[in-house]
Amino acid sequence: MKKKLPKLILVIILWISLFLTPVLAQANSKEAIEIDGRELFEVVGYDLFPAEIRADWIHSQLKAVVESEEKPQITIETRNKLPIILINGRYLLTVTENDTPSEISRQEQAEIWADIVTKTVEKAQRERTKSYLVRRFFVSTILVILLVTSHWFLGKIWQRSHLFWSTIFGLDINNPEANENKILQLALDFSLLLIRISLWIIVTIYITNLFPLTRSWSYKIRDRLIESFTISLISIGDNSYSLPDFLILAALEIALIIVASTLANFLLSQVFIFTQLNRGIRDAIAIFIKYTFISIGTIVLLQVWGFDLSSLTILASAVGVAVGIGFQDIAKNFGSGLVLLFERPIQVGDFVEVNDYMGTVEYIGPRSTVIRTLDQVSIIVPNFRFLEGEVINWSHQNPISRLHIPVGVSYNSEVELVKKALLEAAQKCSDVLTFPAPQVLFLGFGDSAINFDLLVWIEHPQKQPIIKSELYFAINVFFEHYQIEIPYPQQDLHLYSGKHPVKLSIKAQDSNDEN
């Protein structure tokens, strides 16, 4: 029996500790006392009354006094050596030792709280009068009108600011499809959206604070938002990250991209322009510096942010395997992009023909190349197409190229007169170069026409369709002037008539003689 007694005492102590633990935790918790969203003070739980129960009682008493429109009469009494605050003769709360800071007494704390309650209740009652609500409604209407006007005015300012920032950063304003312009536009749109949202939030909070009921809602929503924003979303190692952490990281990354683009454009427009490097080499160096700066800057940002990059070792291995197996085309295009940037078979500004597409090279990226066709349509071509297939580069090394204009005339035409008409038509076209001089080749005799080939030289290969059209118009005019005919396809059918002796067999002849 003696041996079982210590075990029984131990079990009882354990049960008591388990029972008192939540009570003690509640006793140490704090709850804020508020009226219409205005925080007055905080109370702490004591004995068997948690802070939440005390706060609920105080709130119910204060609400009853505010809605009754009775002038608050605050008195302080001492019971069991503890100051008690009464409001209009009804018990409000007891000021305990846990509620009182160490530098003041409980009585002084009770007097401070009594003064705060009196002023706050009187203010809450004034804010429920009709005159107050009418004035605040008028102020709210004015603020909403100003807010809508500011919202519209900011949009107009931001639309015109793109040109200003493009000039500051040295961007090409004539090429809105460039990545740098798209990034700048994205940053401007994001900043405009952020400022607009901030204005709406500020004005909304201010208006809700003008009215007692909405202020109380705003107080509760604010607490919930603070909790949701500060709660940890993900934990990596010893660090935990919340939503503001990710927003800050995203903002820094966008700023890094803008700085890298600005640096690359500055080098192109202010530094490399004084060198003897051609445009292709300048673009390749600028792109290499840009992406190197972004890569190194991203690594530094992640380290400063507290992200341990060593934890990405396994992930990097998995990504490497995925690139080798599932992303072969992406890797091939990336490698082809590097070859295009450094070998430079095509450069930005070249007029090229790839498969069925003709256009000017606008941008050479790490994965694809953008070609602007003559119809002003952007064609995105994977980089490997330029290395694995035939590509016609009309601007390679020398943009001057020769056009062939085939022409057929009737057999009744004088060949020298045809040659003269073709050369005069070429001279009439302003885009045809005088040196090298146009030429006319006699290709030969066709089935229904004499075939010629007008050869002209041009220095703007992207204008080929327009130049050909002008030449054909001019040829038609000069052919009509010299009365040179363009024949229709024709075929000659020759019929021959005559007697052809037919030899008959001996039996046929005998039969014929008998008849």
Please give the Cα distance from 232 to 229 (Å, whole number): 8
Phi first, then psi, for residue 78 (nearest 5°) are -115, 120
Residue 508 pLDDT greater than 60, yes or no:
no
Please give the Cα distance from 99 to 51 (Å, whole number): 10
| Residues 425 and 471: beta-carbon distance below 8 Å | yes
Tens digits of residue pLDDT in 143-190: 999 999 998 988 888 877 777 776 666 666 666 666 666 777 777 888
Lowest mean pLDDT among 88-102, 285-299, 310-324: 310-324
> Average pLDDT, stretch 47-72?
83
Residue 409's pLDDT is what?
92
What confidence tier does 2 reach under pLDDT thresholds 50, 70, 90? Answer: very low
CATH number of 308-393: 2.30.30.60
Does 501 sit behind a cis peptide bond, omega within 30 degrees of 0 on the bond before it?
no
| Exposure string over 473-495, b if 16+ CB within 10 A, otherwise e | ebbeebbeeeebeebeeeeeeee
Helices (runs of H) and strands (runs of E) counted in the chain: 14, 15
Residue 19's pLDDT is what?
39
> CA torsion angle for 113, 118, 124, 125 (degrees, to 10)?
160
> Average pLDDT, stretch 204-209?
83
What confidence tier does 205 reach under pLDDT thresholds 50, 70, 90? Answer: confident
> Average pLDDT, stretch 197-204?
88
Q: Which of 405, 398, 359 has the alpha carbon at shortest distance from 380?
A: 359
Alpha carbon 96 to its chain's center? 57
| Residues 363 and 264: beta-carbon distance below 8 Å | no
If you average pLDDT over every residue of the chain, what do you get? 78
Residue 29's pLDDT is what?
74
Name the range with the highest mean pLDDT among 17-31, 176-190, 279-293, 314-328: 279-293
Residue 18's pLDDT is what?
37
Name the range with the highest mean pLDDT among 38-52, 134-148, 159-173, 215-229: 134-148
CA atoms within a 13 Å half-sphere pointing along the CA-CB vector of 170: 14
DSSP state of 177: T
Beta strands in 179-306 (DSSP E): 234-236, 239-241
Q: How many CB atoms lie within 10 A of CB 501?
A: 4
Residue 142's pLDDT is what?
93
Would you kindly state where each structural domain of the chain is located, as residue ranges? 4-109, 132-300, 308-393, 401-481
Mark residue 312 as left, alpha or beta (left: phi above 0; alpha: psi -120 to 50; beta: remaining): alpha
Q: Which of 448, 440, 382, 378 has the alpha carbon at shortest distance from 415?
A: 440
Please give the Cα distance from 425 to 119 (Å, whole number): 98
Please give the Cα distance from 486 to 476 (Å, whole number): 10
Q: Which residue has the tokens 């100051």?
A: 83
Phi first, then psi, for residue 409 (nearest 5°) are -125, 165
Q: What is the chain's length? A: 515
Residue 13's pLDDT is what?
43
Residue 149's pLDDT is what?
92
Phi first, then psi, for residue 510 (nearest 5°) are -60, -40
Residue 369's pLDDT is what?
84
Residue 148's pLDDT is what?
92
Lowest mean pLDDT among 231-235, 242-246, 483-487: 231-235
Please give the Cα distance from 365 to 288 (Å, whole number): 11
Residue 194 token pair: 């952020």
Residue 477 token pair: 């005019």
Q: Which residue has the tokens 């010299």?
A: 482
Tens digits of residue pLDDT in 345-360: 777 888 888 877 888 8
Q: Beta strand pairing status for 368-373 and 391-393?
A: unpaired
Tens digits of residue pLDDT in 302-348: 877 776 666 556 556 656 665 556 556 666 666 776 677 666 777 78
Q: Model's pTM, two decimal places?
A: 0.40
- Sign of the CA dihedral 372, 375, 381, 387? negative
Share of the chain above pLDDT 90, in %: 9
Beta-sheet strand order (sheet of 401-409): 401-409, 450-458, 439-445
3-state SS class at 435: coil
Q: So what CATH class is 401-481?
A: alpha beta
Q: Which residues pair with 85 in a beta bridge?
A: 76, 93
CB contact set of 288 (below 8 Å; sequence gap of 6+): 341
Q: 496 versus 130: which is more confidently predicted?
A: 130
Q: Beta strand pairing status for 450-458 and 439-445?
A: antiparallel
Please give the Cα distance from 438 to 427 (Å, whole number): 8
Residue 471's pLDDT is what?
92
Q: Which residue has the tokens 């002796």?
A: 501
* Cα distances (Å, whole numbers) of residue 230 to 30, 246, 303, 452, 486: 19, 12, 21, 81, 84
| Exposure string over 111-124, b if 16+ CB within 10 A, otherwise e | bebbebbeebbeeb
Please give the Cα distance from 101 to 42 (Å, whole number): 12
Q: 161 versus 123: which is more confidently predicted?
A: 123
Residue 48 token pair: 């068997």
Residue 501's pLDDT is what?
54
Q: Which of 109, 114, 135, 17 has the alpha carbon at shortest distance from 72?
A: 114
Q: 475 versus 386: which is more confidently predicted?
A: 475
Do 308-393 and 401-481 agree at the fold level? Answer: no
Lowest mean pLDDT among 121-130, 464-473, 502-511: 502-511
